[in-house]
Structure 1
Amino acid sequence: MRRHRHWRIAVLLPALMLLVGAAEASARDFDVERVETRLEEGTFLMDANIRYAFSERALEALENGVPLTVEVHIRVRPADAWIWQESLVDLRLRYRIRYKPLSERYLVSQLPGERGRTYVTRDAALAALGEIRDLALLRSERLEPDTAYEVQLRVSLDIEELPLPLRPIAYLYPSWKQSSKWTKWPLTP
């Protein structure tokens, strides 16, 4: 009887640790919290809020002057589209957050380019990084009448933009492979 109990503990404990580790990892990933679209002068515009919960390793690198680049992948497709069907819109927006130690400020910029806005705190910079406002998606004439469309959005940390010496570490550690799942939101005027 005693041996049977030890066997159960030996099997259940690693499984429990795996579940806790997976929950911890998913709690630190990115999350698309809200996407809203509106029609203005024949063009669909999009606003989105994204929550970036960078891992401790990524935040440590940021604090030491390593810029972090995120990619926001946006697609507009018919709601019932098959996976191989072409998207009406397929955008990849890239944003960078970096810490400037001399000025003790965070810079958030859209790439390409280095111009952006500066923030005093990391929390303010991360909040600004997660706000997309008035993004032009497509003209309303491109949509078929009586067809439901959706905006699909996914966000990921681009480890290819890390400094070369840091990339092998980023490939090996799961804490660097951060992304959101694909989220789907109705395209509504």
Structure 2
Amino acid sequence: MIYIFQSLQSFSTYAGRRPILHTSLALLFFFALFFSFPVFSASQAEKEKEPIIDEIVISAAGGNLVLFATVRHCFTDEMLEGVRNGIPLTFRFDIRLDKIRKNWFDSELVEHKINHTLSYDPLKEEYQVAFAEKDRPEVTRSLDEAKKMMADINGLALHPLNELQAGSPYSLEIKATLVENTFPLSMHSIIPFTSLWNFETDWRIVEFNY
């Protein structure tokens, strides 16, 4: 069992609780023709360089429902310069798994808040990425590798498979936020660009049947 959602065009995404997955092509054409509202897509977000959750994969491994996903366009030059100057960078992933119930409120099965923190050791010239979901941090000299580890959710165990009901619909919701770090006022005067460190992706909402 593998569900892959690589494009925002595959389902509706918004900040509420319920995605719209069953809109007909005719209705979409009607809105496009008469209202000319722009349809949000991954390609448009890439052009605008806005942070987005992408490449969502839901699979089964080791008796668990597991999640793979990545955040795109989540780094700026100011952020990376701050890391090299000793300011840690933390991404928080908010993840919820619900069981969908018709004509009733959904049942929340689990909620995860996963932090990834990037720091730099100038003496060793090494980047370290600490993961809330792992016991040990990863160390690398490659900035590109460190950025990839920061941005990726790689096989996070969401929920035991034996607690899911076969044939039932479920909803996965995920977003990423840059955690605001608190610094002394004197440090803000030295590094004023920390005020630019701010992003929060939209919720990505995926419905699937187990």
Fold match (TM-score > 0.5) = yes
* CA pair 57-75 structure 1, distance change in 2 beyond 3 A: same
The 1-side partners of 2:134 and 2:67 are apart by 22
Does 1:143 pair with 2:168? no
Q: TM-score, length-normalised on structure 2?
A: 0.63
Q: Does the 8 Å CA contact 1:157/1:177 hold for their aligned counterparts? A: yes
What CA deviation, in whole Å up to 9, does each residue of 1:129-169 have, x standing for no partner? 1222221111234334543212111000100x343446798
Q: Does the 8 Å CA contact 2:53/2:71 hold for their aligned counterparts? A: yes
Q: 2:77 aligns with which of 49, 56, 67?
A: 56
Residue ranges of structure 1 left out of the alignment (5+ in a row)? 1-22
SS of 1:88's partner is strand
- How many residue pairs get aligned? The number is 163
What CA deviation, in whole Å up to 9, does each residue of 1:91-146 have, x standing for no partner? 00011001111111111111499941122222221012122222111123433454
Q: Does the 8 Å CA contact 2:98/2:108 hold for their aligned counterparts? A: yes
Q: TM-score, length-normalised on structure 1?
A: 0.69
The 2-side partners of 1:62 and 1:140 are apart by 39
Does 1:163 pair with 2:186? no
The 2-side partners of 1:130 and 1:51 are apart by 7
Larger radius of gyration: 1
* CA pair 138-106 structure 1, distance change in 2 beyond 3 A: same
Tell me which residue corresponds to 1:68: 89
* CA pair 157-147 structure 1, distance change in 2 beyond 3 A: same
Q: Does the 8 Å CA contact 2:178/2:200 hold for their aligned counterparts? A: yes
* CA pair 186-113 structure 1, distance change in 2 beyond 3 A: closer
The 1-side partners of 2:58 and 2:135 are apart by 28
Tell me which residue corresponds to 2:138: 117
SS of 2:108's partner is coil
The 1-side partners of 2:94 and 2:119 are apart by 21
Q: Does the 8 Å CA contact 1:66/1:163 hold for their aligned counterparts? A: no
- Structure possessing the higher relative contact order (Cα contacts under 8 Å, 6 or more residues apart): 1
* CA pair 180-60 structure 1, distance change in 2 beyond 3 A: same
CA RMSD of aligned residues (A): 3.5
Tell me which residue corresponds to 1:88: 109
Q: Does the 8 Å CA contact 2:91/2:150 hold for their aligned counterparts? A: no
| Sequence identity (%) | 21
SS of 1:177's partner is coil
* CA pair 81-130 structure 1, distance change in 2 beyond 3 A: farther
Name the aligned partner's letter for residue 76 of structure 1.
L
